[in-house]
């Protein structure tokens, strides 16, 4: 039984304060849940649109440039910075005489030797094929004139490197 008015008001205040805390906690919980859902949706969109985007189908892409192996080799050796800015990440169709085919596990590369260098290895243009072209690439005769299309990834001081290559017929 309440004998003092202050005891009564304290009790009401205490109950009201608990209700306020519960309402605040519910609001906070709802806000956290909404933010978590928005974050999950944003993460899913980033995954779908940027991380898990389909790869470019280079063998069906028309080339931005068509040249001989000697032409691109000379351009890179004359001015590497300009050539990098022009040719990097571009689909290029190359024509040249095949020097050798390198096989490494499931990777097959056509190699065009541009300068023989016994001290540091040959300076080459290296064209790494899509796997579906591996069998056809290994059957190309050494020394034959071949046309290859691929994505130029730049010059690494000894080689001009092309990836995602296909044989042009």
Same structural domain, 46 and 62:
no
pTM, rounded to two decimals:
0.66
Confidence bin at 169 (pLDDT 50/70/90)? confident
Judged by average pLDDT, the poorest of 11-20, 30-39, 116-125 is 11-20
Q: Average per-residue pLDDT in the chain?
A: 85
**Cβ contacts of 158 within 8 Å, gap of 6 or more:** 117, 120, 121, 122, 123, 124
Is the separation of the CB atoms in 148 and 91 below 8 Å?
Answer: no
Q: What is the CATH number of the domain that holds 121?
A: 2.40.50.140
Residue 4 has pLDDT above 60, yes or no: no
How much of the chain, in percent, has pLDDT values that exceed 90?
A: 54
Query: What would the pLDDT profile of 63-111 be if each residue is shown by its tens digit?
Result: 999 999 999 999 999 999 999 999 999 999 999 999 999 998 888 999 9
Residue 1 has pLDDT above 50, yes or no: no
Q: For residue 159, give the 3-state DSSP assignment.
A: strand
Number of domains in the chain: 2
Same structural domain, 27 and 65:
no
The DSSP annotation for 104-134 comes to ETTEEEEEEEEE--TTT--EEEEEEEPGGGH
Same structural domain, 19 and 68:
no
Same structural domain, 71 and 117:
yes
């Amino acid at each position: 039984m309440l004998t003092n008015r202050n005891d009564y008001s304290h009790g009401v205040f205490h109950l009201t304060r608990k209700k306020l805390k519960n309402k605040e906690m519910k609001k906070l919980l709802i806000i956290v849940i909404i933010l978590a859902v928005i974050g999950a949706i944003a993460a899913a969109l980033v995954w779908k649109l940027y991380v898990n985007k389909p790869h470019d189908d280079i063998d069906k892409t028309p080339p931005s440039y068509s040249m001989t192996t000697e032409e691109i080799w000379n351009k890179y050796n004359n001015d590497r910075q300009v050539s990098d800015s022009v040719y990097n990440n571009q689909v290029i169709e190359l024509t040249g005489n095949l020097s050798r085919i390198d096989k490494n596990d499931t990777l097959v590369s056509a190699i065009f030797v541009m300068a023989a260098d016994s001290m540091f290895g040959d300076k080459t243009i290296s064209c790494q094929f899509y796997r579906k072209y591996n069998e056809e690439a290994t059957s190309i005769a050494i020394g034959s004139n071949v046309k290859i299309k691929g994505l130029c990834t730049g010059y690494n001081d000894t080689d001009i490197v092309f990836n995602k290559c296909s044989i042009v017929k």
